[in-house]
């Protein structure tokens, strides 16, 4: 089969395996969406080196998405970090299965290419608050070798990030309005027909309509309705991979995937693109309120970066 038609075959975890840490709370979806929406209005980059060698960065939502991808690319593929070794990436997952944070632990690299024992710095990315905390003995290496380049990228793509923030904010606003209307309709139905159990009906309706709504938003967000247009770079895909969730095609480089992966070994592996992985945050699920103590810990972490 065509290499471009190699669908449903690859997971980023196969390239750079990541472990998972379960967080002992369930994400409050409404609060998380509100944080994302508010972050769209922030300055693209605000940073401060705090006591204890904690380098704290808060970003606009659009800038965060770009920087999150860029950090992954720099750590694994750039010349700037050829003297570093990134140990297995670690993702924080809450009770409903949503990834709420990611952590890269960066060590020295020995002359033989193996991972050393000296932890240089740790990068903590907090997805719901669009913030980052870098700490460790050599935070200066991160600032000089990585962060300066990130600032240049944000400066260069300033207008594009502005448009991205507008699109995200519009999307979240429509999601909020849609959800409110569905909930209000359910409440009204229960008041009119209190003898009927509307819970199952509401769940089925919301799941199916939200899926269609998400697809419409994705189509309008990337302008081109042709699913052969890569949402990452908005160029036609001659050589790439398809997402099982949204059915869009992506260039390997836009998804940080090596294009020389064997077809047979990956034939039956499901692939979900980075956009859909992020959009799982917005799926309609029955989320419980965050545990109060855990929420306090998260807010405290944000102040030193999440």
Instruction: Tell me if 278 sits within 8 A of 255, measured CB to CB.
Output: no
Other CB atoms within 10 Å distance of the CB of residue 194: 9
Q: How much is the pLDDT for 182?
A: 54
Torsion of CA 160, 243, 230, 11, to 10 degrees: 70
Residue 21: which domain range?
13-157+295-304
98 assigned to some structural domain: yes
Structure token pair of residue 123: 């990068």
Summarize pLDDT for 66-111 with one digit per residue, the tens: 999 999 888 888 776 677 777 668 999 999 899 999 999 999 888 8
All residue ranges of the chain with pLDDT < 50 are: 1-16, 202, 205, 208-211, 213-225, 282-306
Backbone φ and ψ for 134, nearest 5 degrees, come out as -115, 125
User: How many structural domains comprise the chain?
Assistant: 1
The DSSP annotation for the chain comes to --STT-BS---HHHHS-EEEEE-SS---HHHHHHHHHHHTTS-SEEEEEETTTEEEEEE-HHHHHHHHHHHHHHHHH-GGGTTEEE--EEEEE-TTS-EEEEEEEEEEE-TTS-EEEEEEEEEEEETTTTEEEEESTTHHHHIIIIIHHHHHHHHHTHHHHHHHHHHHHHHHHHHHHHHHHHHHHHHHHHHH-TTS--HHHHHHHHHHHHHHHHHHHHHHHTS---TTB-TTT-SB-SSEEE-TTT--EEETGGGT--TT--HHHHTT-----HHHHHHGGGS---PPPPPHHHHHHHHHHHHHT-
282 assigned to some structural domain: no
Q: How much is the pLDDT for 262?
A: 52
pTM over 0.75? The answer is no
Q: How much is the pLDDT for 153?
A: 94
63 assigned to some structural domain: yes
174 assigned to some structural domain: no
Summarize pLDDT for 187-219 with one digit per residue, the tens: 555 555 555 555 555 455 455 444 454 444 444
Structure token pair of residue 251: 């260039």
Q: How much is the pLDDT for 261?
A: 60
139 assigned to some structural domain: yes
Q: What is the end-to-end Cα distance of the chain in Å, rounded?
A: 45
Q: How much is the pLDDT for 272?
A: 78
96 assigned to some structural domain: yes
Cα–Cα distance, 41 to 162 (Å, whole number): 9
């Amino acid at each position: 089969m065509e290499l471009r038609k190699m669908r449903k075959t690859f997971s980023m975890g196969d390239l750079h395996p990541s472990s998972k840490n379960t967080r002992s709370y369930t994400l409050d979806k409404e609060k998380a969406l509100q944080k994302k929406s508010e972050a769209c209005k922030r300055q693209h980059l605000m940073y401060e080196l705090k006591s204890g060698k904690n380098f704290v960065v808060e970003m606009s939502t659009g800038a965060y998405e770009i920087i999150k991808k860029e950090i992954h690319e720099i750590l694994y593929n750039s010349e700037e970090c050829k003297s570093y070794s990134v140990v297995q990436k670690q993702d924080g997952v809450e009770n409903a299965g949503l990834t709420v944070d990611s952590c890269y632990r960066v060590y020295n690299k020995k002359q033989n290419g193996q991972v050393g024992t000296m932890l240089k710095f740790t990068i903590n990315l907090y997805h719901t608050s669009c913030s980052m905390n870098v700490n460790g003995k050599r935070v200066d290496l991160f600032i000089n070798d990585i962060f300066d380049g990130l600032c240049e990228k944000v400066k260069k793509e300033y207008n594009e990030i502005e448009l991205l923030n507008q699109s995200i904010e519009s999307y979240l606003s429509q999601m909020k309005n849609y959800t409110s209307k569905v909930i209000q309709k359910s409440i009204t139905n229960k008041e009119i027909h209190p003898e009927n159990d509307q819970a199952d009906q509401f769940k089925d309706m919301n799941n199916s309509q939200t899926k269609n709504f998400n697809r419409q938003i994705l189509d309008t967000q990337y302008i081109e309705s042709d699913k052969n247009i890569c949402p990452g770079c908005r160029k036609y895909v001659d050589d790439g991979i398809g997402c099982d969730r949204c059915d869009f095609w992506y260039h390997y480089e836009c998804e940080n995937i090596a294009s020389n992966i064997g077809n047979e070994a990956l034939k039956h592996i499901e692939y979900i693109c980075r956009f859909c992985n992020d959009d799982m945050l917005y799926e309609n699920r029955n989320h419980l309120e965050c545990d109060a103590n855990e929420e306090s810990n998260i807010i405290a972490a944000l102040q030193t970066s999440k």
